[in-house]
Amino acid sequence: MRSVSIVGLGWFGYPLARDLRNLGWEVKGSKRTHEGAEQMRLNRLEAYPLELTPEINADPDDLTALLSVEALVINVPPSEYFFDLNNYVGSIQNLVNEALLCGVGHIVFISSTSVFPECEGVYSEDTPPQPTTEVGKALLAIENWLFGLEDVDVDIIRFGGLIGDDRHPVHSLAGKQDISGGNTPVNLVHIEDCSRAIQLLLEIPAYHRLYHLVAPKHPSRNEYYCGAAQKLGLEIPHFICRAEDPQRIIRADKICRELDFVYQYPDPKAFVQREENFPPSEFE
């Protein structure tokens, strides 16, 4: 049986674990707290507490069990709430080095399109990243370090803004007035497409690869968020739309060309299908 561990069983990591388990993988994972790990166990998922500070804080036997797998998915985004960004790079490096000592042969690192600036342009995997935020700089440092590793398969996948049936960023915008950038396109991706992409990468490792994952269609922020608010019965936000709003597009068709990946949610406007009161999202 193929085996994988997911470090970071959060909003995306836990559904990914369930999907992989349903496909026949032996799946393990980690949470930052003992309580979180216990909750995962109650959901019939083998889980262990692990915290990066940047040292690895975990019981040695638990760490060995967690990393005794063929593949490791690192789903730990940098965040000022949980990390000193100066230590983030060291945290991931420590984790990967420990995984390599345990014989893990395939690393999948979930990065972000924030490695690119919020400027006009079309950004593909061939575009040299020029991050302008500390988060983007930290992610790029990890990417570069990972691709310097030898004798291990490494996949880096940069997600756009994550959307799911139970999480939508329009909740943080509902009713707001005079929001800038109304003509700027969105670069979003559905959580189910993210899960399917990770499954595909795990199925066919091939040394070092880099992919973006963003829905192919890019409606404007004004069109998208106002439409989403109307569907969800929320107060419609008001955007300021200017001709000079930057047209920033993340291209993400390389994975389709190389791995025959097909987006099940190619149009972000189709992400919102039901009139429900979803909880607010941390994603924008």
* CATH number of the domain encompassing residue 254: 3.40.50.720
Q: What is the pLDDT of residue 39?
A: 92
Q: 12 and 194 in contact (C-beta within 8 Å)?
A: yes
Residue 283 has pLDDT above 50, yes or no: no
pLDDT tier at 40, thresholds 50, 70, 90: very high
Dump the DSSP string for 73-112. EE-----TTT--HHHHHHHHHHHHHHHHHTT--EEEEEEE
The residue ranking higher by pLDDT, 151 or 270, is: 151
CA distance 131 to 128: 10
pLDDT tier at 273, thresholds 50, 70, 90: low
Residue 228 lies in a domain: no
Phi-psi region of 44 (alpha: psi -120 to 50; beta: other; left: phi over 0): left
pLDDT tier at 168, thresholds 50, 70, 90: confident
The residue ranking higher by pLDDT, 274 or 63, is: 63
Residue 232 lies in a domain: no
Residue 63 has pLDDT above 80, yes or no: yes
Average pLDDT on 218-231 reads 92
Residue 229 lies in a domain: no
pLDDT tier at 83, thresholds 50, 70, 90: low
Average pLDDT on 73-99 reads 85
Give me the percent of the chain exceeding a pLDDT of 70. 94
- E runs forming strands in the chain: 3-7, 26-31, 46-49, 51-52, 56-57, 71-74, 106-112, 121-123, 153-159, 161-163, 188-190, 208-213, 248-250
The residue ranking higher by pLDDT, 172 or 223, is: 223
For the packed helices 85-101 and 60-67, what is the interaxial angle rounded to 10 degrees? Answer: 70
Q: Which domain does 266 fall in, by range?
A: 3-165+190-218+248-270
Q: What is the pLDDT of residue 169?
A: 80
The residue ranking higher by pLDDT, 12 or 81, is: 12
Average pLDDT on 186-206 reads 95
Residue 202 lies in a domain: yes
Q: 4 and 20 in contact (C-beta within 8 Å)?
A: yes
Q: What is the pLDDT of residue 174?
A: 87
Q: What is the pLDDT of residue 217?
A: 96
pLDDT tier at 281, thresholds 50, 70, 90: very low
Residue 120 has pLDDT above 80, yes or no: yes
Q: pLDDT tens digits, residue range 105-116? A: 999 999 999 999
Nearest to 269 by CA among 212, 229, 209: 229
Residue 185 lies in a domain: no
- Looking up tokens 């069990």 gives 65
Residue 139 lies in a domain: yes
Q: How many domains does the chain have?
A: 1
pLDDT tier at 147, thresholds 50, 70, 90: very high
Residue 101 lies in a domain: yes
SS (H, E, C) 176-189: CCCECCCCCECCEE
Residue 225 lies in a domain: no
Q: What is the pLDDT of residue 69?
A: 97
Q: 131 and 115 in contact (C-beta within 8 Å)?
A: yes
CA distance 8 to 30: 6
Average pLDDT on 195-206 reads 94
Q: What is the pLDDT of residue 29?
A: 96
